[in-house]
Structure 1
Amino acid sequence: MEPAATTNSGNPLRKIIHIDMDAFYASVEQRDFPQYRGKPIAVGGSPTGRGVVATASYEARKYGVKSAMSSAKAIQLCPQLIFVRPRFDVYKTVSSQIRDIFRRYTDIIEPLSLDEAFLDVTVDKQQIGSAMDIAGRIKAAIRDELHLTASAGVSVNKFVAKIASDINKPDGITFIGPSKVETFINNLPVEKFFGVGRVTAAKMQRMQLFTGADLKKLTEDELVRHFGKTGRFFYQIVRGIDDRQVQPHRETKSLGPEDTFTKDLTEMEDMYAELERIGETVCTRLEKKQLKGRTLTLKVKFADFTQLTRNYSFLHPVGDLNTITGTAIELLNKLEMQGKAVRLLGISLSNFGEREVVRRPGYPEQLELFPLT
């Protein structure tokens, strides 16, 4: 009998599907309200220019409108943009219906948020065998029963499956088989690696590192020296090594790094750059644990050792770099710095899961993501 196929780390091959709903909140609104169909809409934000866009329809995305963008910027890009108040009770109900579809095929489901999840179908309930077939059936059920579309990535590990689900959006399906993983990662631009933002991407490009193949040329020690602990993650991933299991239950309470600077920071631009770098580390850690959180905390310690923290509570779990760094910068901008030099900055994410945040009117440290006006 031939031995079972294995990954680069020697473990048996798995069949992993990453399902990502297409413009989920906006698509639900367009499904439920015919007047929004075919038009550029943004869930969240405000026509007055206050607030932040949670999700934009694909009609709006053609103009450059995207999630985590300020309403003012969105209006500038698309003056005819229609702002829609979020209905999280509805989104949660639809998300539960999507999970019911998943459970027809496997109970090994790891939700990342209301609109995306990993599924391990190495052994599936209906004994279909083909992960691509299962992904296709799930997409068809979501379309036929819920009148929404989803994109799917299918591969042997979480990292590749998640990236694959974004390749043919919307309503796409992408399979990266075991024989294609190495080539896929070799050709993957460094900015596509989770947690690589503008600062790290620019640093990599200055080092003539443009693709996964370029990263693979460096030793683990070299990657750690240039990129800190994240370098170990890069070293494993570029070799196709990602043995993280699909985990239905998670217990992490909070996550986030902080840095004390060798020289106190006095320029806001320097602080912004540091927050983006710290945000990249946060995103990498979130990706490793497959978490998203609803509460972001900014920590600032000044040269005189006084310290402030500020919190931002989202209405839905987040984990993307733009949202995390943009929120941290907005919190920093709202502080009364009074010319103080900064010796430490930190960003942490907590409150993991999907419960809707309860607003507390007048709470001084909570920003307004979706204004009522």
Structure 2
Amino acid sequence: MSPRRQIIHIDMDCFYAAIEVRDRPELRREPVAVGGHSNRRGVLTTCNYEARAFGCHSAMPTFQALQRCPHLVVLPVRFDVYRNESRRIRRIFRDYTELIEPLSLDEAYLDVSHHTRPAASIAQEIRSRIRQTTGLNASAGIAPNKMLAKIASDWRKPNGQYEVKSSDIGSFMQSLPVSKIWGVGKKAVARLAEHDLHTCGDLQKQSRLELQQLFGKFGSELYELCRGIDHREVVSNRIRKSMSCERTYSKDLDSLEDRQQHAADIFQELSHDLARFKSDRPISKLFVKCKYSDFTRSSIERSGLPFQLSSFQDLLDESYERRSDPIRLLGLGVRFLDPEAQMRATQQLEFDLG
């Protein structure tokens, strides 16, 4: 890891909810959420800090959020507006670097290693310009690598920034909870806790071999990550390989009929997103994804199927035959033909015809 690397992670504060409050000034200082309707199947997409003070959070069923905060203002999602604001923000990024890796509409990595200016100064200027241009607040993390930059961006939220310098990585990592490590989710945290491993300092006491014996291949990654070592590059212009839409339900879907009914709504959303994507890349496969009530996942995909609702319904039939347990998440998606594979196919066709 070169100490000259300067990575900035920009993370917008409560992006969707912040846009709604900006556009509706009367909602300032009110608890606001964006997401599903106030029925038992609606789910919050995000909420502002006023709502979080009542214990509301993203992915929470709307009815539960309203129980915790009866005066919560729940607004419908306006993706077109959010995408437009995201494009405005990325235009600001491009004034500083071409090495931009978006993670979602509201966050991105920027590699500014080529600048002679300190990255912290650049991050401050970017945040100020975002505020002036959009009226929205952004937080930033600055570090020599992506993992540390992302952790740091959460350190001074909202509307703040934090820098982890190369010389401070050792002390910064010692007391850091293992949950902050890239790739460590709730199940991994629980498994680490079984071995009395709670902080990165705890992990650093283990040898690489010991971690490999406990966690397999990921154990070797943990050995480096707990020391703040992350070699991943900021990847710009990433070729999109797939597109999907999914929904999580507060009440499990028990029957095949329930899945088919909700699949129709998800298909409409996916069709809309594909139309906006405006890509001429052919679809190579369709897939459906299910998460069951025990949080296990399964997916099934097929090539050669036309992009239409009946194709996804056929896949759902097959998925249900394999496992009919209730599901809490349903997703539909497509995979695009790899550009190189498409080129090889074209060349082969030209060869055959020639």
TM-score, normalised by the number of residues in structure 2: 0.71
More helix as a share of residues: 2
Equivalents in 2 of 1:359, 1:20: separation in Å?
36
Counting only pairs closer than 5 Å after superposition, residues 117-136 of structure 1 correspond to structure 2 as 117-124=108-115, 127=116, 129-136=117-124
8 Å CA contact 1:51–1:368 kept in 2: the answer is no
Q: Which position in structure 1 is the counterpart of 2:292?
A: 332
CA offsets 1:242-276 (integer angstroms, 9 cap, x no match): 1111110224736xxxxxxxxxxxxxxxxxxxxxx
Q: What CA distance in whole angstroms lies between the structure 2 residues aligned with 1:201 and 1:348? A: 29
Letter in 2 for 1:199: K
Aligned equivalent of 2:54, options 57, 63, 79: 63
Matched, 1:28 2:19: yes
TM-aligned CA deviation for residue 296 of structure 1: 6.0
1:203 partner SS: helix
Partner of 1:340: none
Q: 1:107 aligned to 90, 94, 98, which one?
A: 98
Q: Is residue 159 of structure 1 aligned with residue 147 of structure 2?
A: yes
C-alpha RMSD of matched pairs (Å): 3.5
How many Å separate the matches in 1 of 2:22 and 2:205? 48
Aligned to 1:144: 132
Match of 2:238 among 224, 237, 250: 250
Which residue does 2:225 correspond to in 1?
A: 237
Q: Distance in 1 between matches of 2:309 and 2:28?
A: 34
Runs of 5+ unmatched residues, structure 1: 1-6, 255-292, 299-307, 317-327, 335-343, 350-357
Q: Rg bigger for which structure?
A: 2
> What is the letter of the counterpart of residue 185 of structure 2?
G
How far 1:360 moved relative to its partner?
Answer: 6.6
Q: Does the 8 A contact of 2:10 with 2:108 survive in 1?
A: yes
Q: Residue 301 of structure 1 aligns with which residue?
A: none
Distance 2:40 2:240 in 1: 36
* Residues in 1 aligned to 2:20 and 2:200: alpha-carbon distance in whole angstroms: 38
Displacement of 1:345 after TM fit?
A: 5.1
Which residue, 176, 181, 184 being the options, matches 1:196?
Answer: 184
2:167 counterpart SS class: coil
Residue of structure 2 aligned with 1:216, choices 204, 223, 230:
204
**Matched AA of 1:113:** S
What is the identity, as a one-letter code, of the residue corresponding to 2:178? V
Of 169, 172, 186, 2:157 maps to: 169
Q: How far did 1:363 drift?
A: 6.6
Q: What secondary structure sits across from 1:179 in the alignment?
A: helix
How far residue 229 of structure 1 moved from its aligned partner, in angstroms, is 2.5
| Residue identity in the other structure for 1:210 | H
CA shift at 1:95, angstroms? 0.4
Tell me if structure 1 keeps the 8 A contact 2:247–2:331: no
Is contact 1:160-1:176 (8 Å) kept? Answer: yes
**Structure 2 contact 31–51 (Cα < 8 Å) conserved:** yes
Please give the alpha-carbon distance, in whole angstroms, between the structure 2 residues aligned to 1:36 and 1:143. Answer: 19
Give me the whole-angstrom Cα distance separating, in 2, the residues matched to 1:68 and 1:143.
27
Q: Does 1:53 align with 2:44?
A: yes
8 Å Cα contact 1:49/1:75 also seen in 2: no
Structure 1 contact 40–82 (Cα < 8 Å) conserved: yes
Aligned to 1:182: 170
Letter in 1 for 2:52: R
Identity of matched residues, % = 43
Could you say if the C-alpha distance between residues 294 and 77 of structure 1 is closer, same or farther in structure 2, counting changes exceeding 3 Å? farther
Residue 95 (structure 1) aligned with residue 89 (structure 2): no
Q: What CA distance in whole angstroms lies between the structure 1 residues aligned with 2:110 and 2:66?
A: 37
Q: Which residue of 2 aligns with 1:268?
A: none
Gaps of 5+ in 2: 249-258, 274-288, 302-306, 317-328, 333-354
Distance 1:110 1:230 in 2: 24
Query: How many residues are aligned here?
Result: 281
Cα distance in structure 1, aligned partners of 2:308 and 2:45:
17
CA spacing shift, 1:121–1:219, aligned 2, 3 Å: same
- Normalising to structure 1: TM-score of the pair? 0.67
Q: Describe the superposition over 1:177-235 as per-residue Cα deviations: whole angstroms up to 9, x where unpaired.
A: 00111211122011222333333222222212111011111122221222232222211
